[in-house]
């Protein structure tokens, strides 16, 4: 019995979603500190602690959204809405995971702990109110990714690049609006029952916003690679050659959203769509070579 309950808890922690927390490593890579052992170990430790807190938040969200998740064709199969995990058990583990993550975060770096606390507070606010406010719901998701980047910078005590923040905001808006589009088209008439904010969206409206953030994401990243600040910092103009990877990755994602009717789970797509996965791996590899190869 206990073994089954533990398995359901692990499933509800959605460890596969921890890939989103890799944004914590952005500051480490783009500050040229990747091969500084102390900073690398700090970031790895911070990633684990932050991920535990996030899993605790996932459990909390599942408790609050229990009835709505029962109406979702995919989320209804999760342990809590499927009736395999009790609310009491989920609540206990949610509190434990968040507590361990926060306590450890403050032990590593006070500023990292503060950012982690802000992230958790924002997500709780999102669960109760912000997710019902059109546009602001997706902007809150984007803020969560920015906080991951800021948390990574706080861990190794480096300033957060304005370019990194801008690119993170735009990319996460792109993913967020694409997810809303997928939910709207997949759930159809049941969309409002699962997520009330969807009644304020339409495929056309979302396509307009996706188009805007797609163009601005690519342009912002391209401008970052050729900015004087970047060239001076890394001593090279070669980052411009990573732009094609960004272009293809975004275009591939748009193809999956519009032609394959996917996009509801960016993490799953990044791990299961081979062309997209290869693009991400190649982009990381080329960026690392350019920054550190000299």
152: confidence class by pLDDT, cuts 50, 70, 90 = very high
Is there a single domain that holds both residue 173 and residue 244?
Answer: yes
Is there a single domain that holds both residue 198 and residue 121?
Answer: no
Q: Which residues span the domain enclosing 240? A: 161-294
176/264 Cα distance (integer angstroms): 9
Is there a single domain that holds both residue 146 and residue 6?
Answer: yes
140/172 Cα distance (integer angstroms): 10
The count of other CB atoms within 10 Å of the CB of residue 234 is: 18
What domain count does the chain have? Answer: 2
3: confidence class by pLDDT, cuts 50, 70, 90 = low
72/190 Cα distance (integer angstroms): 8
What DSSP character marks residue 160?
P
Is there a single domain that holds both residue 215 and residue 70?
Answer: no
- The pTM is what? 0.89
Is there a single domain that holds both residue 11 and residue 120?
Answer: yes
The dihedral built from the CA positions of residue 288, 155, 221 and 258, taken in this order, carries a sign that is positive
> Residue 98 has what pLDDT?
95
Is there a single domain that holds both residue 2 and residue 23?
Answer: yes
Is there a single domain that holds both residue 174 and residue 49?
Answer: no
Domain end among 159, 181, 209: 159
55/48 Cα distance (integer angstroms): 11
> Residue 1 has what pLDDT?
47
Q: What is the pLDDT of residues 239-287, one digit of tens each?
A: 999 999 999 999 999 999 888 777 667 888 888 899 999 999 999 999 9
Is there a single domain that holds both residue 143 and residue 218?
Answer: no
CATH of the domain at 129: 1.10.357.140
Is there a single domain that holds both residue 114 and residue 235?
Answer: no
> Residue 192 has what pLDDT?
55
């Amino acid at each position: 019995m206990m073994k089954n309950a533990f398995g359901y808890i692990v499933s509800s922690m959605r460890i596969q979603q921890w890939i989103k927390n890799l944004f914590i490593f952005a500051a480490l890579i783009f500050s040229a500190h990747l091969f500084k052992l102390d900073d690398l170990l700090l970031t790895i430790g911070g990633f684990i602690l932050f991920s535990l807190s996030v899993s605790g938040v996932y459990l909390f969200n599942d408790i609050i959204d229990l009835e709505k998740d029962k109406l979702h064709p995919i989320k209804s199969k999760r342990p809590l809405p499927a009736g395999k995990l009790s609310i009491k058990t989920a609540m206990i583990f949610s509190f434990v995971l968040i507590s361990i993550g926060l306590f450890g975060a403050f032990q590593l770096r006070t500023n990292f702990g503060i950012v982690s606390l802000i992230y958790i507070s924002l997500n709780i606010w999102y669960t109760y109110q912000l997710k019902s406010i059109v546009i602001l719901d997706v902007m809150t998701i984007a803020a969560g990714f920015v906080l991951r980047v800021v948390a990574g910078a706080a861990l190794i005590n480096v300033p957060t690049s304005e370019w990194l923040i801008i690119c993170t905001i735009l990319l996460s808006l792109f993913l967020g609006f694409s997810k809303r589009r997928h939910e709207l088209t997949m759930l159809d008439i049941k969309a409002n029952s699962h997520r009330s904010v969807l009644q304020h969206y339409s495929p056309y409206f979302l396509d307009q916003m996706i188009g805007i953030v797609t163009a601005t994401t690519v342009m912002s990243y391209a401008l970052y690679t050729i900015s004087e600040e970047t060239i001076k910092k890394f001593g090279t103009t070669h980052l411009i050659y990573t732009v094609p990877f960004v272009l293809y990755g975004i275009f591939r994602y748009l193809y999956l959203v519009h032609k394959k009717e996917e996009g509801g789970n960016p993490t799953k797509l990044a791990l299961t769509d081979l062309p997209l996965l290869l693009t991400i791996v190649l982009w990381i590899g080329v960026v690392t070579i350019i920054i550190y190869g000299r």
